[in-house]
Amino acid sequence: MMKPKNRISRIACTQDRLTVLNNTLNEQDKDILAMIDWNRVKDLRDEIGADSLQEVVGMFLEEADAEVAGLRDDPRQDALESRLHALKGSALNLGFAQFSEKCQAGETAAAAGAAEQVDIADILASYDTSKAVFLEGLGSVSPA
């Protein structure tokens, strides 16, 4: 296969390959790909460096694991809004797009007095899956 010579050609070829790939993925695969905003992860790496990214990832996972454990062990509705707010912000900064969206929806519901309608199990499952996908793909985010 010939390499495109200019930037526009490279972008067009990349878009063609992504279209082909997208058409071959099933809905579950597409959901998994949408869990993490890898562009955000790369931007963060470029902003702070690869070594600092590893530190940030470690801190995020430590803090998020503690908050998630709190939700698992004590899903009290009076603390739900603040827990989901903290998780949402951290998750969004690190590219956990789907998990952050679920936290936002839960936070909004809790703030509106409908904390009992928040699907905590779905949020926890989203975190677990997002974390696994993130850790698996993190190695492919090449150093800056």
- What's the pLDDT tens digit per position in 73-129? 877 777 899 999 999 999 998 999 999 999 999 999 999 999 999 999 999 999 999
**Distance from CA of residue 10 to its chain's centroid?**
27
Q: Is residue 144 part of a domain?
A: no
What pTM does this model have?
Answer: 0.76
Instruction: Write out the residue range of the structural domain in which residue 82 sits.
Output: 36-138
Q: Which residues, at least 6 apart from 25, have a Cβ–Cβ distance to it below 8 Å? A: 33
Q: Is residue 63 part of a domain?
A: yes
Cα–Cα nearest to 122, from 108, 138, 136, 101 = 101
pLDDT at 13 over 80: no
What is the total count of domains within the chain?
Answer: 2
pLDDT tens readout for residues 16-28: 565 655 566 667 6
Burial of 90 (0-12, 13-18, 19+ CB in 10 A): buried
State whether 10 and 68 are in the same domain. Answer: no
Please give the C-alpha separations between residue 99 and each of 36, 47, 69, 73, in angstroms, as whole numbers. 9, 23, 15, 19
